[in-house]
Every structure is written in structure tokens, then in C-alpha cells.
Amino acid sequence: MQSAKMRQTSLLAGYSTAGKAMRAIARPAVSRRAAVVVRAEGEASGPGLEAQGPNMTALKDVQEIMDILPHRYPFLLVDRVLEWEYGKYAVGYKCVTVNDNFFPGHFPQRAIMPGVLQVEALAQLGGIVMIDPSEAAQQNNFFFGGVEGCRWRKPVVPGDVLMMRCDVTKFNKRFGICKMAAKAYVGKDLVCEAELTLVMGK
């Protein structure tokens, strides 16, 4: 039972030293090369479908994302980072649920994730790419400067996992201007792509 307790997260975590220890334990172990776990389909003798769901190991979980980004509810749109190389690229995702706060208005008769929020999610992931962990104390800033070549190709709906990748394509260090190729997928399907311009503060 003690071990169950250890895996369970304290309600008061974050308020005490004990809480922090438990929080560390509660976080899934981190491996540099995160991966979607392989699943065998229709394995008759194996576990049921319910125990074959995705299990995407976090390189950065949502608590770490909140240490990096100032965004908060209802405008934090990245749940987990799976791959990340500073100044190069990142892979991350957002779970899309009918309980997302925007669905009652978009639309009452049919839940579709607004395209502009997919772009926002991509830009938030892009911001995470550009945060230099060695300069965390200096709090490098960034803002969203522009978008080119944005296309939405399929509707994103509750139950989708919006997988995203941002690759830095150009970085003018002097002016702090960064271009990124950004793509979002549901399964194998490309649902949104855009070239983003972020401007980094000093």
C-alpha cells in the first residue's frame, strides 16, 4: 500500500518538501528518446483494447511546460513534450476533449477544434523550442510575430490527439527573429501546417 501511496500524488503537493518529493516520484520516468508505445492490433490472447491505449512518455510534462510558458487556463494548449532539442525542434501534443472550454461555442451543434487554436498550440510548442535552459534565470522572452502558408486540411474533433512538430528553419540571432516549420497531425494525417515567425526578447 505504501508503494501505491508513493505512486499516487499528494493533494497538497507543491506546498511542502514532502510534497515535492512525492511530485518527483509521481512524474513518469523521463527518457531522452521518448516514443509512442508499440501496440499489436487484434492480438487475440493479449490484453483487451482498453489496456492498449497510447502511453506517451513525457520529456517535459505539463508542470515543466508551465515552468517555461506563461500561458494558463484556458489558453495553455500543449499537454506534453516528447522530443526536444534546444534551438532545433520539438515534438509535443495536445489532447482534444469535448471538455475543452472552447467547444460549447465552436459549435453548439458540432464540436470542431478552431483552426486558429491549432496554430496557437504550434506556436506555444515553438516557444518551448527557443527557451534556452541555460539562461532560464534571464527569462528570455518571445512573442508571435507572423504566420505564412497556413493550411487546415481536416477537422480536429474531441478524442483526437493533436501531435505537433516545430522545426527551426532560420534564426537571426541579432534581431531575435526565428522562423519555424510547424505541422500538426492526427494519426498519420497532416491536419494543419504553417510557417511561424517568433520574435525572441532579451
What part of residues 16-55 is at the interface with its own copies (CB under 8 A)? Answer: 16-19, 22-23, 26, 33-42, 47-55
**Of 84, 91, 129, 180, the one binding its own copies by CB under 8 A:** 91
**Of 30, 85, 104, 132, the one binding its own copies by CB under 8 A:** 104
In angstroms, what CA-CA distances link 149 with 35, 56, 138? Answer: 29, 30, 33
Tell me the closest approach of the beta carbon of residue 87 to its own copies, in angstroms: 17
**Of 24, 109, 133, 134, the one binding its own copies by CB under 8 A:** 109
Catalytic residues: 106
Tell me the closest approach of the beta carbon of residue 178 to its own copies, in angstroms: 12
State the Cα–Cα distance between residues 14 and 7, nearest whole angstrom: 16
Three-state DSSP class for 99?
Answer: coil
**Of 97, 132, 169, 170, the one binding its own copies by CB under 8 A:** 97
User: Per CB under 8 A, which of residues 178..197 are in contact with its own copies?
Assistant: 183, 185-190, 194
| Contact in structure between 99 and 113 (CB atoms under 8 Å) | no
Tell me the closest approach of the beta carbon of residue 71 to its own copies, in angstroms: 6
In angstroms, what CA-CA distances link 143 with 44, 114, 137, 177? Answer: 51, 21, 18, 10
86 near its own copies (CB under 8 A): no
User: Alpha-carbon Rg of the chain, whole angstroms?
Assistant: 19
202 near its own copies (CB under 8 A): yes
Tell me the closest approach of the beta carbon of residue 112 to its own copies, in angstroms: 5
176-193 CB burial, b ≥16 within 10 A, e <16: bebbbbbbbbbeeeebbb
With respect to its own copies, which residue has the nearer C-beta, 87 or 146? 146
Q: How many residues bind its own copies (CB under 8 A)?
A: 127
Q: What angle do CA 106, 55, 97 make, to 5 degrees?
A: 10
In angstroms, what CA-CA distances link 200 with 55, 64, 116, 124, 175? Answer: 33, 20, 21, 13, 8
- The residues, ordered by sequence, that sit 6+ positions from 181 with a Cβ below 8 Å of its Cβ are 166, 167, 169, 193, 195
With respect to its own copies, which residue has the nearer C-beta, 87 or 154? 154
Tell me the closest approach of the beta carbon of residue 56 to its own copies, in angstroms: 7
User: Per CB under 8 A, which of residues 122..181 are in contact with its own copies?
Assistant: 123, 127, 138-155, 157-161, 163-165, 175-177
